[in-house]
């Protein structure tokens, strides 16, 4: 397999929190020609609509974009996203369309209507003592790529879990609304094959970039410039320009943009074992093998 050469690498730390503007969203850019990664619109408090507009209208022609969200729900373990619900979609693209349709009146690309839907809500964990009757006991269902993430000393959380600091369900559902509105504009891997030209969107897990930079499990969040520069150096990146303040969202985005630049040329990352079985339903986290 001949791997694409991209000119720009963009990493977006995403948020599914309530409200219009989210301090949890950060966007970083690294150039293929070198130099440190930089924040896009530093100091700006992003909305999900802002990120959508950037990706639709202001993205360089040949960018690799990493979104820190899950583009699909578990499927192959039970033969469907929502077993027992006749309206359960058969593919990720149909899932994105369904989420966007049910949530069309939810502001700010939120997805509260989906998790409140009478059939869908039975599959989610909504609170400590509020689990839908189809929520898998314990940690909840995982996608194949999330099971594989454990090889990288990662601790994935089920997309059906909507509770706790580590939950990814809300960010993933809001992200599906974003993907539905991007699908006609850019290739979204692996649902689309890797094209010969044009920008490509992939799923990322920022902790994977942290592991690759030498950060230990359980200590992958960076909140100071010195630690960030050490991690960037492990990825072959120059030190960053100092920031007015540091949050794990901005450092996650900066480090992951540098990581994408360092690894995107590796053909093995574009054809992991097991991908074919889930390429149209669950998707895959780029970098997980």
Q: For 244-270, what is each residue's pLDDT tens digit?
A: 999 999 999 999 999 999 999 999 999
pLDDT of residue 165: 78
pLDDT band at 130 (very low <50, low <70, confident <90, very high): very high
Q: Which DSSP symbol is given to 128?
A: T
pLDDT band at 151 (very low <50, low <70, confident <90, very high): confident
Q: Quote the number of domains for the chain.
A: 1
CA distance linking residue 81 with residue 103, whole number of Å? 17
Share of the chain above pLDDT 90, in %: 90
| Domain containing residue 3 | 1-289
Closest by alpha carbon to 110, among 157, 64, 44, 162?
162
Q: For 73-112, what is each residue's pLDDT tens digit?
A: 999 999 999 999 999 999 999 999 999 999 999 999 999 9
CA distance linking residue 130 with residue 142, whole number of Å? 19
pLDDT of residue 221: 85
CA distance linking residue 108 with residue 110, whole number of Å? 5
| pLDDT of 48 strictly over 70 | yes
pLDDT of residue 4: 75
pLDDT of residue 1: 52
- What average pLDDT score do residues 207-213 get? 95
CA distance linking residue 128 with residue 67, whole number of Å? 28
pTM of the model: 0.96
pLDDT of residue 176: 98
2-11, 74-83, 167-176: the lowest-pLDDT one:
2-11
Q: Are 239 and 229 within 8 A, CB to CB?
A: yes
């Amino acid at each position: 397999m001949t791997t694409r050469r991209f000119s720009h690498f963009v990493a977006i730390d995403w948020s599914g929190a309530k409200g219009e503007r989210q301090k949890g969203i950060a966007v970083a850019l690294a150039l293929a020609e070198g130099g440190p990664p930089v924040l896009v619109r530093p100091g700006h408090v992003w909305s999900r609509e802002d990120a959508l507009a950037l990706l639709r209208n202001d993205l360089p022609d040949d960018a690799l974009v990493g979104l820190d969200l899950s583009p699909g729900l578990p499927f192959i373990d039970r033969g469907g996203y929502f077993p027992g619900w006749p309206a359960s979609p058969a593919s990720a693209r149909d899932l994105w369309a369904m989420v966007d349709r049910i949530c069309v009146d939810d502001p700010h690309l939120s997805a509260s209507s989906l998790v409140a839907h009478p059939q869908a809500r039975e599959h989610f964990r909504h609170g400590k003592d509020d689990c839908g009757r189809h929520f898998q006991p314990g940690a909840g269902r995982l996608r194949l790529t999330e099971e594989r993430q454990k090889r990288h000393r990662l601790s994935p959380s089920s997309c059906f879990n909507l509770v706790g600091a580590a939950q990814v369900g809300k960010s993933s559902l809001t992200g599906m609304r974003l993907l539905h509105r991007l699908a006609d504009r850019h290739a979204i891997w692996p649902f689309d094959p890797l094209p010969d030209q044009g920008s490509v969107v992939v799923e990322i897990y920022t902790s994977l970039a942290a592991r690759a930079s030498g950060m230990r499990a359980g200590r992958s969040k960076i909140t100071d410039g010195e630690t960030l520069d050490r991690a960037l150096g492990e990825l072959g990146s120059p030190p960053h320009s100092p920031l007015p303040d540091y949050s794990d969202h901005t450092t996650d985005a900066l480090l992951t943009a540098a990581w994408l630049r360092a690894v995107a040329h590796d053909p093995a990352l574009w054809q992991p074992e097991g991908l074919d079985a889930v390429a149209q339903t669950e998707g895959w986290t780029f970098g997980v093998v």
